[in-house]
Amino acid sequence: MPFKPIGFILAALLAAASTSVVAENSLDPILHKAIQAYQVKPHQPSERRLGPKEKLGQALFFDPFVSGPKKIACATCHVRSKGAGDGLPMAVGLGAKGISTERLAHSGAFIVPRNALPFFNRGSKDFRALFWDGRVQLGPTGLIETPLGSRQPAGFDSLLAAAAVFPPAEPDEMLGRSLKRGTQDTYHAELVTIDDEANNLQERTLNAFGNLVERLLETKSHNPQPVALQYRKLFAEAYPRTPLNEFRINHVGNALAAYIGAAFELKPAPWDRYVAGATSALTPEQKQGAFVFFGKGRCAVCHSGTQFSDFRFHGLAVPQMRVGKHNGYIDYGRAAATSRGEDRFAFRTPPLRNVTETFPWGHNGIFTSLESVITHHANPVPMLYKAQQQDPEEGSNAGRLLGFRSPILAEMAPLSKAEIELLMKFLKALSSEPVMPDSVALPATVPSGDRSFIRP
């Protein structure tokens, strides 16, 4: 990565451009050199429509019938008006009602101990790893790798398709718990018909996959319920050459991926128009913010490519908070997917498309402003100290978190308030609306008839 010489040039130009002497049109030539050096390409949306497969995926996405207790949907935590997330630090799973902050009113609900990731442009082939820990990824040879290992079902069209079927098999997220571990409201007997107390996650997941397909289609019934009849019709239209008894979980995933890719595809942002040659698409302040991004801020070292992510994993020394995925105050991040000690507390580089709209930020939603995210990259100590003052237990992890901080961040120089403001203006230039309007992306109803999660 040819960062250092580019960084020196851009930093020098930024210093000059911060004065009133430099004309606006003198900002473009050097910025275009950085664009060429980093091989930046503009985002070009694919042609998207709601064909039969997308319509099946749309129904599956909004229908709580897909969840174990039939009380939560994919759309619960991925809301178009909430930046394709839910607007919460951590997602609230089963045991709550409504969407977004409405779910906070239910104190007995399960907390899903990670921030809900937005779905923008997830249909793009640029994505090589999904979820915060990358547990669903493309391997070195291009094959899809998941927690199911060699038992991963075949037939998925894409990485997104393989990833889309895992949330319905997560106990606190959509699957539910057995009566031994939960309450009647979260009982999931219909989707798990083996003893999940055996703690064989692969067996439980595969069992849930098979039972979900059977619930949707009732393939063994000669007198299926109305919901199953509707899903039979949708599946037949989406996969006209597939017999009823040959439908599997990959057909569910492929349909979900088709819908997500279509509904959350973004229009070109001002930045894309600028890269394509429209120099007036960015304001002078946004161009200066781009100098910070590609230069002194070193943001482009990790936030690279069309989606502004290297899809690698880095430790930022983020305070863990009381609710951790792997224990109180502990989320091992990438290490839980790889079982490698050196990957502890590392998380996938978030793409920056529409980042100004995806509040709050961080794997556990601890950042309530983008300014705090930026300053933490250069110096994590203030936030670690503040977290320890609020909860002394945080102090026991601070040293380890700093020990696993990415060495790339050690080379960062703190940014001034003015530079951060310019960088924020540049990040705003990465925002755009979805190609598909709400009137098309949202269904009128779903096969189960439960419209609770059909929200713009």
Rounded CA separation 435/49 (Å): 10
Mean pLDDT of 416-423: 96
Rounded CA separation 343/259 (Å): 33
Mean pLDDT of 376-382: 95
List pLDDT tens digits, range 58-67.
Answer: 999 999 999 9
pLDDT at 323: 85
Rounded CA separation 95/397 (Å): 31
- Give the C-alpha distances (Å, rounded to integers) separating 236 from 225, 245, 381, 389: 16, 11, 56, 58
Domain ranges of the chain: 3-45+269-428, 52-266
The superfamily (CATH) of domain 52-266 is Cytochrome c-like domain (1.10.760.10)
Share of the chain above pLDDT 90, in %: 80
pLDDT at 221: 95
pLDDT at 266: 98
pLDDT at 179: 67
- 207 vs 13, residue with greater confidence: 207
List pLDDT tens digits, range 167-177.
Answer: 999 998 999 88
List pLDDT tens digits, range 122-181.
Answer: 999 999 999 999 999 999 999 999 999 999 999 999 999 999 999 999 998 999 887 666
Helix or strand (DSSP H, E) at 140? none
Above 90 in pLDDT, residue 27? no
The overall average pLDDT reported for the chain is 91
| Residue 353 CA neighbour count, 13 Å, CB half | 28
Mean pLDDT of 235-258: 98
Share of the chain above pLDDT 70, in %: 91
| Residue 223 CA neighbour count, 13 Å, CB half | 0
Q: Which residue bears the tokens 């983008």?
A: 370
Above 50 in pLDDT, residue 363? yes
Tell which CATH classification among 3.90.1150.10, 2.30.42.10, 2.40.430.10, 1.10.760.10 matches the domain 3-45+269-428.
1.10.760.10
Above 70 in pLDDT, residue 34? yes
pLDDT at 127: 97
Q: Return the SS3 of 79.
A: strand
pLDDT at 4: 44
Q: Do domains 3-45+269-428 and 52-266 have the same CATH topology?
A: yes
The pLDDT-based confidence of 322 (bands split at 50, 70, 90) is confident
Dig out the tokens for 209 from the structure.
């996959």
- 191 vs 216, residue with greater confidence: 216
Mean pLDDT of 441-455: 97
Mean pLDDT of 22-39: 81
Check: CB of residue 376 under 8 Å from CB of residue 316.
yes
Four-residue CA torsion sign, 88, 89, 91, 96: negative
Mean pLDDT of 240-244: 98
Check: CB of residue 344 under 8 Å from CB of residue 335.
yes
Residue 77 burial by Cβ neighbours in a 10 Å radius (0-12, 13-18, 19+): buried
The pLDDT-based confidence of 15 (bands split at 50, 70, 90) is very low
Lowest mean pLDDT across 17-21, 104-108, 240-244, 358-362: 17-21
Above 50 in pLDDT, residue 91? yes
Check: CB of residue 103 under 8 Å from CB of residue 97.
yes
Mean pLDDT of 298-322: 95
